[in-house]
Every structure is written in C-alpha cells, then in structure tokens.
Amino acid sequence: SAGSDENDVVVIGGGPGGYVAAIKAAQLGLKTTCIEKRGTLGGTCLNVGCIPSKALLHSSHMYHEAKHSFASHGVKLSSVEVDLAAMMAQKDKAVSNLTRGIEGLFKKNKVNYVKGYGKFISPSEVSVDTLDGGNTVVKGKNIIVATGSDVKSLPGITIDEEKIVSSTGALALKEIPKKLVVIGAGYIGLEMGSVWGRLGSEVTVVEFAPEIVPALDGEVRKQFQRALEKQGMKFILKTKVVGVDTLSSGVKLTLEPATGGEQTTLEADVVLVSTGRTPFTAGLGLDKIGVETDKVGRILVNDRFVSNVPGVHAIGDVIPGPMLAHKAEEDGVACVEFIAGKVGHVDYDKVPGVIYTHPEVASVGKTEEQVKALGVAYRVGKFPLLANSRAKAIDDAEGLVKILAEKETDKILGVHIMAPNAGELIHEAAIALQYDAASEDIARVCHAHPTMSEALKEAAMATYDKPIHI
C-alpha cells in the first residue's frame, strides 16, 4: 500500500513548498511520498491564496476599467454590471485546473500521493489518518515538514467566514458588501480591499502601525498610499481594533488609538481580519519527537533546512523567512538538493515581494531605510512612470522606479517599482542583484522601446549619471 515501504523522502504538506520538494526529490531519483490533508494539492497558495486572489484581482480590475476607463479610450458600453457568481466561478475554475495539474505532475514524476492528516510517530515514521477514514504509516529516511501557515485572528475576535472573515472568506463572499472594514494594511488587506473596492464596496483599512505595509521603502509607500486613496480606499492608521460585535445586519468594531486613549466605533457589513499568518503545526506531534520551535511556533532549521532532530527537515511558511510561495518553492528545491548530496542555496535577502494591486508594487533587496541603517554611502536613481512613453501611451502612468546603489562601486542594493506590471518588471532587478551587477550594467543593456522596462533602465542611468527622458 501507499507508503508502507520505506521512502527516501516523505513530505508532509502539498503546498508550494511541499509539492515542489516532492517533485524535485523524485526527479533526483529519490523514492518520494507526499501527504496532504486538504484533498487537493497546491496548499494555501493555490486553494485559498495567491491564485484565487489574483483571479479576483484581475476580474475586478477588468470591471473597474470597463466602468471607469473604457470611455476615455473611446470604447463605449451601454451598461456594465458585475455577475459575482460568474466571477467566482471563473476563479474556482482557475483553482481546480491548477490543483489537478499538480496531481498530474505527481503522476508524471512518480511521486506517491497520500491524502490524509500526518502525525509523527518517530523521526522516520508518520501516521496518516486518511481522508477515506483509514490509517496508514508512512516511513522515510528523511521527512520534510511543509505544513505551511494558517489564518491568525486577534484576541477576542472569532472568525465566522461570513461577517467576520479571513482571506478565505473574503475570497468567497456571496454579495458585495456595502461597507468593508479591513484590519491590517498588509498584503492581504490591500489586495482583498482592492478587489471589493473595485466592485463597489466602501473600504476602510484600520492599521496598528503609523504606515501601511511597514516593510516597504518609505518613499514608494507614500506614493502607493496616495494611489490607493485616490481609488477610494480610506486608512485609519495608528489604531487598534479591540473588539468586533456582530449585529443583526453587519458588525460593529471598537477602535482605540495604538498608544491607548478614547475608544470609537465603526460599523460595517463585513470585516476582514488580515493581521498576519501563523505557522501551522497543530496535531503534527513535533513535541513528541522533540523538534525545536521559536516563540511564535516556527520550526528552527539550519542552513540545510534540517531541524534539531536529524532526518527531520522543514521548509516554507512553517520556518522563519518571508511567508511567500516562491520562497517556499526555493526552500523545497534546496532542501531536497542537500538530501540528495548536492548543494542548495536560498538567499532570503534577494526574494522579490509583490503586492498585486493596481498599480502593483514590487521590490527586491534593501529599502532606503535599510541602506541608511547599514551606514553605507549610497546613491538613489529614480524615474517616474509619467515620463515613460509606454505608460503614457496607454494612459496608465502612476508610479516610479527607484534604484539604490552603493556610492563607491555602483553595486545595486535594492530596487523598488510601482507600476501596472511591477511584478513582472522586478525580475530584471532580481537577476542584477543576484549577479552583483552595478546600476550601469542595467543602463547599458539595450531595452526594447516602448516598454515600461525602459523606466528601469532610466532609473539605473539616474543612479550614476543622468536619465535621458526627464
């Protein structure tokens, strides 16, 4: 049966970390089993994360453009309406096609797939309560924990996924809320807030910190906040939510200044709790085999992704580092390469981050604040999208490219882009950073015209010299 004979690698969790590790292990000739409790592969990312959110971001953007921008491009429509059920169906189709695609990849690569909840019996044995009601023990020389992360609520707030929703509920609302309050101005809050705002909700975001997405470069953040405000998103900063009461219709939030003080209230039809995610290890039996975790529950691993228990590895959202799908994938490949006796490597300082709003915000490397804190002498090169011919041609010119380079050597330290397709543009910068390029290296590469990538080239020119078009 499934996993009764010994595997070289057993992966617990079939998300972007786990399924990629499993496929890579099989490709390297290792006998591999992957255990997943959800019933479908792809983890948080495919089922309730990256993919459904990007589907809805795209559909809601199309609606918003049709309603508010088509006319100025000379495209006349007599009426534009949202068919929410159809929009959700399109999202669900994208998800199911992709999750089934991974099952196909497992078959192609001969990864054994066990559907069920895995628990450690020993560092080399996992007991699985299978989804069909049975139990099986899967043995492996190496076990990779890739159990990911879960929604984190706030004290005293119970998520019902109807009026008080996590991202999962926000991806499946049955009606467009008139008023949506978002708690937390991070990735999820701004992306899902954008989706519902475009579809007609009045969106208010309550954030504890003095600024939105605290990790962004400050200058980019300011422009980003302004762009979102222009779209109608409201921000209440330096404020914490101390309670949420359910009313017969909707909810009532109690707010308090972050530093304490007088309480106020805010009513909404739906409230989205998006204040971060927490590593998921419930029921796994880590304590039973003595795996060490930090105080927020993340599994501690060395640079080969091995925990304090030999043979037990961990990757992705369940270990420290950026909680991103592509980081989990890189972890998975590197972890398996080490197991196969090769060398793997992931540099967490070079993991790009993208917020898929409109415009998108993407960055790689250090922010200006981080460079300052390092005490390195640096130069800044900037180029506004307003001076980019392609962005002007299509009338979508809100944003900028900002490059930080070491003053003495011109070596690139960080790149920050706000642009309609910043999430695609950022990879040129990621390659440059990976290969220790100077900004002049980017500037001297011939870039096709007219493209938004030229804004990156011009920002690079501005770093050590002068741009042409501004």
Binding residues, by number, are: 54, 118, 147-149, 184-191, 207, 276, 317, 323-326
How far apart are CB 192 and ligand NAI at their closest, in Å? 8
Which of 38, 313, 390, 411 is in the footprint of ligand FAD by CB under 6 A? Answer: 38
Q: How many residues bind ligand FAD (CB under 6 A)?
A: 36
CB atoms within 10 A of CB 135: 10
Q: Identify residues 113-172 at the interface with ligand FAD (CB under 6 A).
A: 117-118, 146-149, 167
Interface with ligand FAD, residue 193, by CB under 6 A? no
Q: What's the one-letter identity of residue 380? A: V
Interface with ligand FAD, residue 204, by CB under 6 A? no
Q: Which is nearer to ligand NAI, 56 or 459 (CB)?
A: 56
Measured distance between the N- and C-terminal CA atoms of the chain, rounded to whole angstroms: 67
154 binds, among ligand NAI, ligand FAD, none (CB under 5 to 8 A by kind): ligand NAI
Closest CA to 457 of 449, 362, 365: 449
Q: DSSP letter string over 46-90?
A: HHHSHHHHHHHHHHHHHHHHHHHTTGGGT---S-----HHHHHHH
Q: Which is nearer to ligand FAD, 266 or 333 (CB)?
A: 333
Tell me the C-alpha distance between 248 and 70, whole Å.
39
Tell me the C-alpha distance between 458 and 442, whole Å.
9
Interface with ligand FAD, residue 186, by CB under 6 A? no
Which of 9, 22, 50, 362 is in the footprint of ligand FAD by CB under 6 A? Answer: 50
384, 402 contact by CB (below 8 A): no
Interface with ligand FAD, residue 317, by CB under 6 A? yes
Is the peptide bond between 450 and the residue preceding it cis, with omega within 30 degrees of 0?
yes
How far apart are CB 325 and ligand NAI at their closest, in Å? 7
Q: Which residues are annotated as a binding site for NAD(+)?
A: 184-191, 207, 276
Is 313 among the residues known to form the active site?
A: no
Closest CA to 48 of 325, 242, 299, 336: 325
Which of 3, 7, 17, 306 is in the footprint of ligand FAD by CB under 6 A? Answer: 17
Task: Take residue 200 and report the two structure tokens written for it.
Answer: 């007609």
Q: Strand 277-279 to strand 149-151: parallel, antiparallel, or no bridges (unpaired)?
A: antiparallel
Q: Which is nearer to ligand NAI, 102 or 188 (CB)?
A: 188
Binding site for ligand NAI (CB under 6 A): 154, 183-189, 191, 206-209, 214, 240-241, 274-277, 323-324, 354-356
Q: Which is nearer to ligand FAD, 16 or 467 (CB)?
A: 16
Interface with ligand FAD, residue 423, by CB under 6 A? no
16 binds, among ligand NAI, ligand FAD, none (CB under 5 to 8 A by kind): ligand FAD
Strand partners, 165: 272
Interface with ligand FAD, residue 328, by CB under 6 A? yes
Task: Take residue 359 and report the two structure tokens written for it.
Answer: 């415009």
Largest CA distance in the chain: 68
Closest CA to 264 of 272, 255, 273, 275: 255
Please give the sequence-ordered ranges of beta strands (E in DSSP) within 97-158, or none if there are none: 112-122, 125-130, 135-145, 149-151
Task: Take residue 300 and report the two structure tokens written for it.
Answer: 């501690």
Q: Which is nearer to ligand FAD, 45 or 212 (CB)?
A: 45
Interface with ligand FAD, residue 188, by CB under 6 A? yes
Tell me the C-alpha distance between 12 and 314, whole Å.
9
Interface with ligand FAD, residue 273, by CB under 6 A? no
Q: Identify residues 62-121 at the interface with ligand FAD (CB under 6 A).
A: 117-118
Is the peptide bond between 359 and the residue preceding it cis, with omega within 30 degrees of 0?
yes
Q: Which of 68, 73, 345, 449 is catalytic?
A: 449
Tell me the C-alpha distance between 71 and 38, whole Å.
45
Interface with ligand FAD, residue 11, by CB under 6 A? no
388 binds, among ligand NAI, ligand FAD, none (CB under 5 to 8 A by kind): none
Tell me the C-alpha distance between 76 and 57, whole Å.
23
How far apart are CB 253 and ligand NAI at their closest, in Å? 10
Residues that bind ligand FAD (CB under 6 A): 12-18, 35-38, 43-45, 49-50, 53, 117-118, 146-149, 167, 188, 280, 283-284, 316-317, 323-326, 328, 356
Catalytic annotation, residues: 449
